Amino acid sequence: MNTEKQTGTGGTRPLADAGGRGLLASLERASMRVPFRVKLAIVWLLIFTMLGILFSAVRFDVPWMHEHFQFIFLGLPVTVMISAVAITLAMVLALLGALGRLSKNPVAYGMTGFYTSFFRGTPLIVQMFLWYSGLGQIGANLIASGHEWGRILILDAIPAGILALSVNYGAYMTEIFRAGIQSVGHGQFEAAEALGMTYPQKMRRIVLPQAIRVIIPPTGNEFIAMLKDSALVSFLGATVSQLEIFRRAQLAGRRDFRSLEALVVAAIIYWALTTVFQYFQTHLERRMSKGYVREQVGVIPH
């Protein structure tokens, strides 16, 4: 069988290559007729099929996972509470840090510079133990010296974890808030000054309402990351009523020698939790972007 075809330049071209290109073109045309959402669903279906095969190969103790799911899931309110309080404090610290970084006052600039440098340059788990054990030791020394007010420095695991998370994330979010404030045009500042506004009035009425549109998306990402980092609080120890998702999974898995099953259950809960918050974050971003995104005019929808 002749597998080559004479070309106009005197050379030959394999017919198999031409047939292969034709097959690829046909597949591309067929793929274009399939909606994107259908192709996306197929990809997800294949992924979950592979995960199901791996799940079956490992031979997890599914009845145990089903039995202890509720115990691990009961740590969800503690996880959300820790993250919600910590992100609120972090936003306050980030705003103060951003204003300090933009200030021409050397004291404010120097203090915020040290704050962001230290807490971004040291591990979060180390900071947690500094707040929990370090402050506790200082408080105990003060009490031994006759200073009873040192008791306020002795923190439980949950307050110490919240403080560590808020201070650490506040340092990272300082740059987010600084970038958001700087995204506001300089003319806005000049117009506010021309109207005789004070600095607090200018920030509250003019700058921050416009900067919040830039600040919210990365802040939402930080909150989602904090939901997962809240698991580090478990290393400080806590009472049974204060156990979050990861610590509950640890206790249940170690007791019955089902650590892998317990961690899989915890991972599924964390994944579902972050997916829910990502959904709300997406809708919040769309709402905040109204009035800033130009719609295309004259485009006929397909």
Rounded to whole angstroms, the Cα distance separating 94 from 226 reads: 15
The whole-chain average pLDDT of the chain stands at 83
Q: What pLDDT digit, counting tens, does each position of 187-222 carry?
A: 777 788 788 888 788 888 888 888 888 888 888 889
Q: At 251, which amino acid appears?
A: L
| pLDDT reading at 73 higher than 90 | yes
| pLDDT reading at 149 higher than 60 | yes
> What's the rounded mean pLDDT across residues 61-89?
92
pLDDT at 12: 53
Of residues 65 and 204, more confidently modeled: 65
Rounded to whole angstroms, the Cα distance separating 180 from 215 reads: 5
| pLDDT reading at 302 higher than 70 | no
Ramachandran quadrant class, 211 (left: phi over 0; alpha: psi -120 to 50; beta: rest): alpha
Of 130, 85, 127, residue with least CA distance to 226: 85
pLDDT at 295: 47
| pLDDT reading at 6 higher than 60 | no
Q: At 30, which amino acid appears?
A: A
pTM: 0.78
pLDDT at 296: 43
Helix (H, G, I), strand (E, B) or coil at 22: helix
Q: Give every CB contact of residue 264 below 8 A, 6+ residues apart in sequence.
A: 60, 65
> What's the rounded mean pLDDT across residues 61-75?
90
Rounded to whole angstroms, the Cα distance separating 170 from 97 reads: 8
> What's the rounded mean pLDDT across residues 2-20?
53
| CA max distance for the chain | 102
In the chain, the DSSP E strands lie at 4-6, 12-14
> What's the rounded mean pLDDT across residues 270-274?
92
Lowest mean pLDDT among 47-61, 177-191, 211-225, 282-296: 282-296
pLDDT at 241: 66
pLDDT at 292: 55
Q: What pLDDT digit, counting tens, does each position of 218-234 carry?
A: 888 899 999 999 989 88
> What's the rounded mean pLDDT across residues 122-151?
88
| pLDDT reading at 7 higher than 60 | no
> What's the rounded mean pLDDT across residues 76-90?
93
| pLDDT reading at 71 higher than 60 | yes
Rg (alpha carbons) of the chain, rounded to whole number? 28
Q: What does the DSSP assignment read for 117-185?
A: HHHHHS-HHHHHHIIIIIHHHHHHHHHHTT-GGGGGG---HHHHHHHHHHHHHHHHHHHHHHHHHHTS-
What percent of the chain clears pLDDT 70, i.e. is strictly above it? 87
> What's the rounded mean pLDDT across residues 11-18?
54
